[in-house]
Amino acid sequence: MKISTKGRYALRVMVDLAINDNGNFISLKDIATRQEISNKYLEQIIALLTKAGFLETARGNNGGYKLAKAPNEYIIGDILRATEGDLTPIFCLTGENICSKQKNCKTYSFWKGLDDTINNYINSKTLQDLV
């Protein structure tokens, strides 16, 4: 039950962009250097953040990335879900793959409670809380 590098790095990238924001675009290379993450791997992670609409991007010379919104408008849960994918600790909570035994499953409500607990926490924090 671990958060993968994608979610962890993504959070660090968002914090980095928040802290180093000076209005200009920041190149991936700069972020990668500061955060000690491989350029090529970071590309993939930042692509997820871009696709989620979290970043403004500029291609070409002097291009790069910057936050599309103010830090307090980013919910950490959203950042993690966009990069980690689904965060539920148990497959049967995802809606898909509904288990045939769910009706009389003695453990279901425990897992549901865990999922709720996790979501309450990660949805209660914003990027602003980290910077």
Residue 81: which of a copy of itself, DNA, none does it interact with, CB under 5 to 8 A by kind? none
Work out which of 21, 34, 52, 57 binds DNA, going by CB under 7 A.
57
Residues in the chain: 131
Work out which of 43, 73, 116, 129 binds DNA, going by CB under 7 A.
43
- In angstroms, give the least distance from the CB of 106 to a copy of itself: 5
Which residue matches tokens 């980290």? 130
Residue among 60 and 95 whose Cβ is closer to a copy of itself:
95
Contacts of 46 (CB under 8 A, 6+ apart): 13, 28, 31, 55, 65
Residue 103: which of a copy of itself, DNA, none does it interact with, CB under 5 to 8 A by kind? none
56: number of Cβ within 10 Å = 13
**Do residues 67 and 55 make contact, with C-beta atoms less than 8 angstroms apart?**
yes
- In angstroms, give the least distance from the CB of 59 to a copy of itself: 28
Provide the 8-state DSSP code for 69.
S
Does 8 help bind a copy of itself (rule: CB under 8 A)? yes
Give the Cα separation of 15 and 5 in Å (integer).
Answer: 15
Give the Cα separation of 60 and 84 in Å (integer).
Answer: 29
Does 5 help bind DNA (rule: CB under 7 A)? yes
Residues that bind DNA (CB under 7 A): 2, 4-6, 27-29, 38, 40-41, 43-44, 46-47, 50, 57-65
